[in-house]
Amino acid sequence: MKIRKFAAIDVGSNAIRLLINNVIEFSDRETQFKKSALVRVPVRLGADAFIERRISDHNRERMIETMKAFSLLMEVHGVEKYRACATSAMREAKNGKKLAEQIREEAGVNIEIIDGKKEAAIIASTDLSTLIEGDKNYLYVDVGGGSTEFTVFSKGDIVASRSYKIGTVRLLNEMVPQETWTDIEKWIRKVCGEFKQIDIIGSGGNINKLFKMSGRKIGTPLSYIYLNAQYHFLKELSYDERISELGLNPDRADVIIPATQIYLNACKWSGAKKIHVPKIGLSDGIIKSLYNEERGGV
């Protein structure tokens, strides 16, 4: 048995995350990936990038300091390989590439700015395949701050995938035109309409939080009815009440409502009645793809 440490940095539109995994290699069975540490810093880059088209000086400094801290954490944890990926906020900010260069120089962290297609491919390299039953159909929905990735699986294979500029931070700032909703509805109805029955697999911090709030056992799906009821319950509470009464973090208490709206629409348009929440996402995919690439795999 050999224990190694890999890390993933996910520079999202609502927060920046560092995930450190123990990668446990065996001679007689499959390699295991176990979470060793997870750090989340609420630097909302999307609020800058989607409105001002640039990362503000304030958030630029916060991001540099965050990366310096992440670099130190990876060092003391003994991380041997890492990969840092930035999504829609850094993609759309005019100074995104320049900031990535500055971070590389000052913090020693190399950030790769990826597009929606690459993001979906990385997520698909997670252990998602082990959760998908071969004879069933699924619509995988990964909701971020700036974009949402939709992937349709049928009989274990990917049959369609799309990335749309719709996310929690965009919705909060009323930056999603009706045409985008219409396009998503048309695409989901067209692709999912071929199947008599389909379930949704939900990914992202908000659906993870909704699952935790439900009190359900791991592996038990959420129902559309429950999610819809929770959506209306959350909407009736003020932002302050969501923090004080439900214990939500300030940077979660606002985005959780538009996130739920996306999942509900995905259910309605696909005809899904169940939402599975495996609690995997981009960070998990980064580590898995990093390991696979090293071994000459996908």
CA quadruple 61, 65, 66, 68: dihedral sign: positive
Hey, how many other C-beta atoms are within 10 angstroms of the C-beta on 163? Answer: 20
Structure tokens at 67: 């990366």
Q: Does the structure show a pLDDT above 60 at 289?
A: yes
For residue 276, the Cα-to-chain-centroid distance in whole angstroms is 15
**Sign, Cα dihedral of 252, 85, 125, 155:** positive
Q: Taking a C-beta distance cutoff of 8 angstroms, is the pair 141, 159 a contact?
A: no
What per-residue confidence (pLDDT) applies to 239? Answer: 97
Model pLDDT for residues 71-112, shown as the tens digit of each residue: 999 999 999 999 999 999 999 999 999 999 999 999 999 999
Residue 120 scores a pLDDT above 80: no
* pLDDT given at position 298: 46
Give DSSP secondary structure letters for the chain: -EEEEEEEEEE-SS-EEEEEEEEEE-SSS--EEEEEEEEEE---HHHHHTTTSS--HHHHHHHHHHHHHHHHHHHHHT--EEEEEE-HHHHH-TTHHHHHHHHHHHH---EEE--HHHHHHHHHTSTHHHHS-TT-EEEEEEE-SS-EEEEEEETTEEEEEEEES--HHHHHTT---HHHHHHHHHHHHHHHTT-S--EEEEESHHHHHHHHHHTPPTTPPEEHHHHHHHHHHHHHS-HHHHHHTT---HHHHTTHHHHHHHHHHHHHHHT--EEE-----HHHHHHHHHHHHHTT--
When the pLDDT of each residue in the chain is averaged and rounded to a whole number, the result is: 92
Percent of the chain beyond pLDDT 70? 96
Rounded CA Rg of the chain: 19
Highest mean pLDDT among 25-34, 52-61, 124-133, 285-294: 52-61
What confidence category does residue 127 fall into, taking pLDDT thresholds of 50, 70 and 90?
low
pLDDT of residue 233: 97
Average pLDDT of the segment spanning 283-298: 82
Burial of 217 from C-beta contacts in 10 A (0-12 / 13-18 / 19+): exposed
**Domains of the chain, each with CATH number or no CATH:** 2-117+283-294 (3.30.420.40), 128-279 (3.30.420.150)
Lowest mean pLDDT across 13-27, 76-90, 155-169, 234-248 = 155-169
Contact between 79 and 36 (Cβ < 8 Å): no
pTM of the shown model: 0.88
What pLDDT does residue 294 have? 81
Q: What whole-number distance in Å separates Cα of residue 15 and Cα of residue 181?
A: 24
The single-letter code of the amino acid at 154 is: S
Per-residue model confidence (pLDDT) at position 156: 79
Short-list 77, 86, 94, CA closest to 110? 86
Distance CA 200, CA 137 (A): 9
Tell me the per-residue pLDDT of 224-280, one tens digit each, with 9 for 90 and over.
999 999 999 999 999 999 999 999 999 999 999 999 999 999 999 999 999 999 888
Q: Is the pLDDT of residue 218 over 90?
A: no
Judge whether 282 and 208 are in contact, CB under 8 Å. no
